[in-house]
Amino acid sequence: MAKNYSSILVPLDGSEYSKRALDEAIEVSKRLDSQLELLHVVSASAIQPTGVVLSGVIKGKGASKAVDEFVKKALSGAHGFMQECVAYCKNKGVKASYKVVTESPGKAILDQAKRSESDLIIMGSQGLRGIKKVKVLGSVSRQVLENASCPVVVVH
């Protein structure tokens, strides 16, 4: 008897691999009448690049104000990106919702899968930080594969 995958978590970072994973998740969702939960992680390394902190200090704003401004812009961009992804799913005839979180990507994906009781995770094999043609599997994908409590499909 086939397992019912009613809730599918799809982590997205804007990379080509995550776009492919979203398309795969849409196809699976259509076949199984599943709900997609899209997740975008704004990681600490993206939020607090050294240049932003130094720039804020040099301009007299103070590091925390510069970082706060950068965080607001990053989160605003993430919500816009995810709204576009939800609209894309809707246009394909699939129900989707989204979350944006700030945490380390692997931990955030695993935590969200557990919190939302996801039946399946469909994700790209590597994200924006991968070194092309050197790695087969990104560090986040590997972490999720090794620690997820539900099945994981990795799309290359």
Domain that holds residue 118: 7-155
Per the DSSP assignment, residues forming a β-bridge with 124 are 155
What's the pLDDT tens digit per position in 75-88? 999 999 999 999 99
In a domain, 96, yes or no: yes
How many separate domains does the chain show?
1
In a domain, 1, yes or no: no
In a domain, 95, yes or no: yes
Closest CA to 95 of 26, 31, 49, 5: 26
CATH number at residue 58: 3.40.50.620
| 140 touches 43 (CB < 8 A) | no
- Enter the pTM of the model: 0.84
In a domain, 2, yes or no: no
42 Cβ contact list (under 8 Å, min separation 6): 71, 74, 75, 78, 100, 101, 102
31 Cβ contact list (under 8 Å, min separation 6): none
Which residues in the chain show pLDDT less than 70?
1-2, 44-64, 66, 127-137
Per the DSSP assignment, residues forming a β-bridge with 43 are none
What is the pLDDT at residue 7?
97
Interatomic CA distance for residues 35 and 57, integer angstroms:
45
